[in-house]
A and B are shown apart, each in its own frame.
Chain A
Amino acid sequence: MTRYVLMLEDSAAFEPWREMARAALQRAIPPEALDWRIRGGETDLFGQITDDGAGLEALTALPVAKTVTLRASCIALLRDLLCHSDPGRFALAYRIAWRVQSNPHLLEVTTDADIARARIMVRQNREDCHKMASFLRFREDPVQQCERRRFLAWFEPQHHILERIAPFFSKRFTDMDWMILTPRGSIRWDGKELVCSPEPCEQPELDDGFGELWDTYYASTFNPARVRTKAMRREMPGRYWKNLPETRLIPQLVAGAEARVRTMAEQELRPAPAFHERLRAREQRPAGPPLPDMAETLDVLARQIRICTACPLHCPATQAVVGEGPPDARIMIVGEQPGDQEDLAGRPFVGPAGQFLHEALAMAGIDRGTLYLTNAVKHFRFRLQGRRRIHQNPDAGHVVACRPWLEQEIALIRPKLIVSLGATALRALDGPGMAMSDVRGTSWTVGTGENTVRRLALAHPSWLLRLGKGTQGNSERRRFVEGLARVQDVPSPWEA
């Protein structure tokens, strides 16, 4: 079998390799017959360049045997791969291109040796880019030629990544001129043009006197009580240290850590500074009279409800949601409990069910500003499922614990009509004796004389929303709006 020697520059990007690989694939030359070499660097095992193979000319002189195509995903992988500095990269890329011809799914087979190696190399390139973005430091060039500030940096990347990483820097440091010098070439930016050059550079002298401030920050942000140098070295390997001036401080920081912690532990308690005493003295002053047992206004009642701990629901909830509306409202609407949105916002009926209620009120021709809206239970009861809170109906115990608040709201507002939405509100207002299915949509009167109140029982809006878009849902929702509309013409003996 004839062997062909293919020579490429070390800095060679994808294109030159692609030309050669295409020529070889078209002539069905198997990977074993190709000897990919890097000009100037690679020698054989014995330190000599062996010249036992034919060259590119001999290869292209052969007749083309077939047309070759590579998928875009494959080209993308090979392009990434060839940024790596491993001398075997050209051969590996060709082997993959060759094998893909007969096995189009090869790239998917992550457990294949070639693919696994390629993925590791691609990852290393990405890491190198990331390290360059992380550990490169600009220093200001003291000689300013124009208005724009000029910066210089020196970095030693492991792989041929300059062209890939260059846009990151130009899109970040757009308003300044800068140059990045590396042994593998340089990048220059002047606000308009981004120029990459493969010409190796020498390390320049860099110091703009700003390093001291950074050293100060670096040393002060270190916590001596938690020395974990292994974690630091894993993320910031030693090979980067020589171009990171702050790492000079590491030995003394580590050496002094133990003594600093000891000093902290042995430190004697000292009297607090004078302003502490003044602040605390101010705090001692009473904050006002304690809250009365029975609230005289809705404001006082709201403050009492907000600090209620009568049942365990207050623990996971954000806040108690108190009722809202004019204190002389004639109609009071009582829902079940605040939902997710109500709990976050601290206001009743702002979630999806509240939205539906407002639409229904508008359809029934009722101004919601005249209503007092509240809930039978003031805290949100829920169950956690992953990152979501799932609504749970309150138990009888929660309803009972919360009833004094509802009773005080009714006593303060003295509504003429109370509309209950759903079974929980029904139970809170009328006790456990009534079944929702019997009374839904009906109204009745409770109390006598001065205390006569009209009651109307309706379904809960969230139940109506859950019914969905079908005919049952539509008819139930219509029934709800009709029920609401009756609010205005409910016979009202007490109004006379």
Chain B
Amino acid sequence: MKKSLSQRLAILSDAAKYDASCASSGSGRRDSARSGGLGSTTGNGICHAFTPDGRCISLLKILLTNFCVYDCAYCINRSSSNVERARFTPEEVVWLTLEFYRRNCIEGLFLSSGIIRSSDHTMEQLVQVARDLRLKHGFRGYIHLKTIPDASPRLLEEAGRYADRLSINVEMPTVAGLEQYAPQKKAGGIRQAMGEMRLKIDAGRERSHTGRRAERFSPGGQSTQMIVGADAASDQDILASSANLYGSYGLRRVYYSAFSPIPDASALLPAKSPPLQREHRLYQADWLFRFYGFAFGELTAGRADGMLDLELDPKLAWALDNRALFPVDLNRASKEMLLRVPGLGIKAVAAILRARRHQAVRLEDLARLNVSIRKVRPFVQTPGWSPARLTDRHDLRSLFSPAPQQMSLL
């Protein structure tokens, strides 16, 4: 018996949820005021709901089909799994996207697919959905497409024309990990595809000498995902891999997805609870790299096992390892140095820089900027406050560590 649309929606959204990427940002502003159609993008993205796993729902994240010829150990849709299989027609995906969008449930579509028949066949189906949304229905919301490795350049070009963001998952932080868990995927092919996309994305941003825009290609750039905790890679390995991905392919985001148990799991990967705290620390490190001027190497330099501190956030851990650089004079230090003070965020630093041009900033002023005085105290000095020996106290770490907890017996 053919499954109903609702049943297939359940299967194909369940199959897509292990992809962490959900952003609807990075594509600039666009709306339907002149076209009279449907949809807009705000540049920053909007989350329309949150599920109890703490993740947001921004895009309708579904697979076209969860049939797949690959057998990647970590994946719920691998060919050896007994999950229920289903598929949507491109028309059904278009209809679902538009109806959810009209009710303001989503920002757009994140469409991926299991590999069926060939790369080109799969990619062609994804592109058809995007093409219909854009050309037939005048849809101007966000579209994120997964790129299938080895698909033909013509399809990639067309995908880039309609999509706001393209992505292809490296899946494992190391080549060895990928070979072990995803024998059909080739790290080289994935990198080549990313390189090709980078060149096209860069070319799409350029203007000719007459000021004419080049043809649109994925204005929201490209992103990727790595699975954390499935293989033996350390945080250092993972972050080194990220550094290379950001540097080589100009990625907008690298997503870290804590390996999560799946139904009918492969024997290679026994079910254990996902390392959520580790994933969180990796995201923090990523943030420090993208916005705070840290190099990934700095964050793991002080760690013997190459793992980020699970108890303290990476910025605080780095500051405790580099106390010689503190305390920082809030009224004199450079922006770069202020960004390295634990407890000061991008906005607080901008506010301090503005205020100190006109009057000296004091410790108590920081409370008005939504800064935790307790956290910054040992690392800054201002008129009226000097941490004196506090910065050098050997038990400084314990002032920040979470209270010890009784181990659970069970």
Contacts and interface: CB of A to CB of B under 8 A. Distances in A.
A232 B248 contact: no
Interface in B169-192: 175, 184, 188, 191-192
A254 interface: yes
Which of the listed residues B50, B55, B366 has the most CB atoms from chain A within 10 Å of its own CB? B50
A269 B267 contact: yes
A389 B248 contact: yes
A109 B79 contact: no
B17 A221 contact: yes
B337 interface: no
B6 A216 contact: yes
Contacts of B248: 316, 318, 343-344, 389
A306 B192 CA distance: 12
Interface stretch (A66-74, A273-281, A355-363, A461-469): A273-281
Interface residues of B, number: 93
B50 A235 contact: yes
Interface string A248-292: 001001100100010111010110110110011001000000000
Contacts of B31: 171-172, 174
Contact of B195 (A224, A244, A346): A346
Closest 3 CB pairs of A and B: A231-B54, A228-B54, A111-B365
A246 B52 CA distance: 11
Contacts of B370: 120
B209 interface: no
B103 A137 contact: yes
Given A116-B368, A318-B195, A226 B271 contact: no
Interface in A31-81: none
B33 interface: yes
Contacts of B365: 111
Contacts of B175: 315
B13 A254 contact: no
A398 B302 CA distance: 31
Contact of B80 (A105, A168, A253, A273): A273
21 contacts: A105-B358, A109-B358, A120-B370, A138-B104, A175-B37, A213-B6, A213-B9, A221-B16, A222-B53, A226-B258, A229-B52, A257-B52, A261-B271, A270-B82, A272-B80, A272-B82, A273-B79, A280-B71, A344-B195, A345-B196, A386-B295
A235 B50 CA distance: 7
B274 A225 contact: yes
Contacts, number: 247
Most B C-beta atoms less than 10 A away, residue of A232, A253, A263, A385: A232
Contacts of B14: 220-221
B283 interface: no
B357 A108 contact: yes
B53 A108 contact: no
Contacts of A136: 104
A230 interface: yes
Interface in B248-299: 248-250, 258, 260-265, 267, 271, 273-274, 276, 293, 295
Count class of interface residues, chain A: 35 or more
Contacts of B295: 386
Contact of A110 (B42, B260, B369): B369
Contacts of A315: 175
Contacts of A254: 52
B35 interface: yes
A386 B289 CA distance: 8
B326 interface: no
Interface stretch (B118-126, B239-247, B391-399, B402-410): B239-247
Nearest to B83: A273
B52 A174 contact: no
Contact of B355 (A111, A222, A230, A265): A111
A375 interface: no
B191 A319 contact: yes
A223 B17 contact: yes
Contact of A235 (B9, B56, B71): B56
Contacts of A224: 53
B50 A236 contact: yes
Given A213-B96, A280-B71, 10 more contacts: A108-B354, A108-B357, A111-B366, A174-B31, A217-B9, A223-B18, A223-B55, A226-B274, A261-B261, A319-B195
Interface SS of chain B:
loop
Contact of B9 (A133, A216, A229, A344): A216
Contacts of A133: 42, 46
Contacts of A316: 244, 248
A220 B35 contact: no
B334 interface: no
Contact of A228 (B47, B49, B276, B357): B276
A242 interface: no
B353 to A, nearest CB: 9
Contacts of B55: 223
A191 B50 CA distance: 31
Interface in B12-66: 13-14, 16-18, 31-33, 35-40, 42, 46-57, 60-61
Nearest to B260: A225
B333 interface: no
A346 B276 contact: no
A109 B359 contact: yes
A168 to B, nearest CB: 8
B361 to A, nearest CB: 6
B32 to A, nearest CB: 4
Given A172-B39, A174-B37, A257-B52, A225 B261 contact: yes
A136 B199 CA distance: 39
Nearest to A345: B199
Contacts of B373: none
Nearest to A343: B195
Contact of B52 (A250, A267, A389): A250
B39 to A, nearest CB: 6
B155 interface: no
A393 to B, nearest CB: 18
A171 B32 contact: yes
Contact of B32 (A172, A220, A222): A172
A214 interface: yes
Given A230-B54, A344-B198, A175 B32 contact: yes
B102 A149 contact: yes
A221 B51 contact: yes
A130 interface: yes
Interface in A309-341: 315-316, 318-319, 341
A223 B103 contact: no
A217 B6 CA distance: 9
A244 B49 contact: yes
A232 B248 CA distance: 34
Most buried by A among B46, B247, B355: B247
Contacts of A265: 261, 271
B199 A341 contact: yes
A304 to B, nearest CB: 14
A130 B46 contact: yes
Interface string A157-180: 000000000001011111110000
B401 to A, nearest CB: 20
Contacts of B362: 111
B151 interface: no
- Max count, chain B CB within 10 A of own CB: residue among A228, A306, A344, A345: A344
B57 to A, nearest CB: 6
Given A171-B31, A221-B51, A214 B276 contact: no
B194 interface: yes
B306 interface: no
A315 B274 CA distance: 29
B358 to A, nearest CB: 5
